[in-house]
Structure 1
């Protein structure tokens, strides 16, 4: 099932005129673009001069969250220069009552993932490390990351019956096995997850939402978009929450990718305390554990399936890294 998105015919004529004035060419045709997991207004404009432009934003049918994050993403494109080498080119924005669109470089011919190869995954990790180093000088331009929702998920599962039930429901016929596993590990996971936001580790500018639907490869290099969540946070967060996405889509594991990230950062004089990788692994597993088993969200119909896809690798990685018992496999029902 696809997310509900506005049609091009829904766009006011005044907004179309603004796009043409901004780009210096009239629009020959336009089409909706699907991607991501929400009802964001997204279009591809085919201009008379032969160029194509990608537009994203909020408009008819957009939810309050779309409108909340749009100014944050626009501010990142406008003011944070460190993202320029690793993001689409930004051409400006257009708006009328009830509509606001960002105009960006069209990455339709850039390489998508999955499928992942080891080479692509390693390139993504090296480019992510380079971005983290580049962004250190601009970390003060963005808000600090809040820990709530990332450092307390295993604690919520322990203390809240509904949270526990939602998580165990993912395992269906292996529920008893999953319950025994959870009871054996949760008191270990809770304090380790709680260390995610410790200040005595490398902090800086992070994207905070790195996964395959938010990236492409342009001329062999990583390009990230959807910068609405950019903030100042633990650098290892981007990598640690990215690994389960890669493995869940058939790519290399965190055990293969984390050393590459650490090597790339160490080459630039940035080292991580051992607790940092343990805490991000536990936090990633807890984040997906408290979300993947919840009921579907009508306007984001594919979100839960993606969270389940990431939960399995996150549970495996955190258990392996912390020397915990192997978790049972989750059920990938629709």
Structure 2
């Protein structure tokens, strides 16, 4: 293969080929773009000369470069049983960095563009592994988890934001008025600080089951924060996909539930360019979070449309 000149930052297979062969000491035989990933980073499942496979993730711009460097830092510190093994880190001057890890194509991936397929026992194993991960301390250099602004005050105050929230159909105006003080207080009570390792984007398409271990991928937003962070953010999506009711797992999660509901509502109402299918998923998650918050706060069940009917 032709060499990649300094300053050329392409991440096409042709440009990556020699870098990989030089790092791994084998010729590259085949490139396959997997059904995974939402960022602009380039991803390939690569077959090598000895017929083994590796997974390649390459930055394509400054943002994905920052994310990839965070991911590489995380993979160096997270206990091996939680993550794919690192095989190479390519970081030559003038080129975007490239991360090479073990290929987990043969593992069971519960989520893909074709839908979600949790097998019996999978969700329980994931929840146990998330609990184990929550005991891991974050390494030095990890930034604190970002805690967003409070949104409930605007949603319960008379005005266009309240009207827009009610238009989602998840509760009546009377229910929202009665719940307003507790929802505002619950959101304000959330403290996401801590010294635990936080994945930051745990969802079913970033999880696979490889034989006896549960593996978490895409650590590009890893940070330092509260031990409950990953669990609290994962529970609503798991419930959407057939998992337990969030309240049954985290009955004291009023802050997580209230904040999650309000932040997603803010996105749905503000981001007009959201694809309709994604906006619908978000509204279903808002409904799950609102019901979770109500249970934690001893409020009546929200009297609007149930998430399963959305």
TM-score of the pair, normalised by structure 1: 0.76
Q: Contact 1:42 / 1:54 at 8 angstroms: preserved in 2? A: yes
Q: Contact 1:294 / 1:304 at 8 angstroms: preserved in 2? A: no
Q: Contact 1:296 / 1:304 at 8 angstroms: preserved in 2? A: no
- How far off its partner does 1:168 sit? 3.6
Structure 1 equivalent of residue 87 of structure 2: 91
* Aligned pair partner of 2:109 in 77, 100, 112: 112
**CA distance in structure 2 between the partners assigned to 1:228 and 1:142 by the alignment:** 11
Structure 2 equivalent of residue 21 of structure 1: 22
Rg comparison, structure with higher value: 2
Deviations 1:121-167 (A, max 9, x none): 2211111111222x13x454422223234xx1323434695644553
- How far off its partner does 1:89 sit? 0.9
- How far off its partner does 1:182 sit? 2.8
Structure 1 equivalent of residue 3 of structure 2: none
**CA distance in structure 1 between the partners assigned to 2:13 and 2:296 by the alignment:** 53
Q: Which one has the bigger helix percentage?
A: 1
Change (3 A) 1:255 1:100: same
Within 5 Å, give how 1:192-231 maps onto structure 2: 192-197=186-191, 203-231=195-223
* Aligned pair partner of 1:282 in 220, 235, 258: 258
Deviations 1:161-182 (A, max 9, x none): 56445534433xx7xx544433
Change (3 A) 1:130 1:301: same
Deviations 1:76-104 (A, max 9, x none): 123x2x34220111122335756433212
Structure 2 equivalent of residue 76 of structure 1: 74
Within 5 Å, give how 1:152-301 maps onto structure 2: 152-158=150-156, 163-164=161-162, 166-171=164-169, 177-197=171-191, 203-258=195-250, 274=252, 277-295=253-271, 297=273
Change (3 A) 1:26 1:215: same
Deviations 1:230-253 (A, max 9, x none): 222111121111110100112222
Q: Contact 1:37 / 1:302 at 8 angstroms: preserved in 2? A: no
- How far off its partner does 1:45 sit? 0.9
* Aligned pair partner of 1:129 in 124, 128, 131: 131
**CA distance in structure 1 between the partners assigned to 2:30 and 2:232 by the alignment:** 41
Structure 2 equivalent of residue 53 of structure 1: 54
- How far off its partner does 1:333 sit? 11
- How far off its partner does 1:193 sit? 1.4
Q: Contact 1:247 / 1:254 at 8 angstroms: preserved in 2? A: yes
**CA distance in structure 2 between the partners assigned to 1:217 and 1:24 by the alignment:** 29
Q: Contact 2:11 / 2:42 at 8 angstroms: preserved in 1? A: no
- How far off its partner does 1:296 sit? 5.1
- The DSSP-based 3-state class of the residue aligned with 1:292 is helix
User: Unpaired segments of 5 or more residues in structure 2?
Assistant: 1-9, 111-115
**CA distance in structure 2 between the partners assigned to 1:169 and 1:35 by the alignment:** 34
| Number of residue-to-residue matches in the alignment | 294
TM-score of the pair, normalised by structure 2: 0.81
**CA distance in structure 2 between the partners assigned to 1:108 and 1:160 by the alignment:** 51
Change (3 A) 1:83 1:320: same
Q: Contact 1:293 / 1:304 at 8 angstroms: preserved in 2? A: no
User: Unpaired segments of 5 or more residues in structure 1?
Assistant: 1-8, 260-273
- How far off its partner does 1:186 sit? 2.7
- The DSSP-based 3-state class of the residue aligned with 1:186 is helix
- How far off its partner does 1:284 sit? 2.1
Ranked by relative contact order (alpha carbons within 8 Å, sequence separation 6 or more), the top structure is 1
Q: Contact 2:192 / 2:229 at 8 angstroms: preserved in 1? A: no
- The DSSP-based 3-state class of the residue aligned with 1:73 is helix
**CA distance in structure 1 between the partners assigned to 2:55 and 2:309 by the alignment:** 33
RMSD: 3.1
**CA distance in structure 1 between the partners assigned to 2:249 and 2:120 by the alignment:** 9
Structure 1 equivalent of residue 147 of structure 2: 147
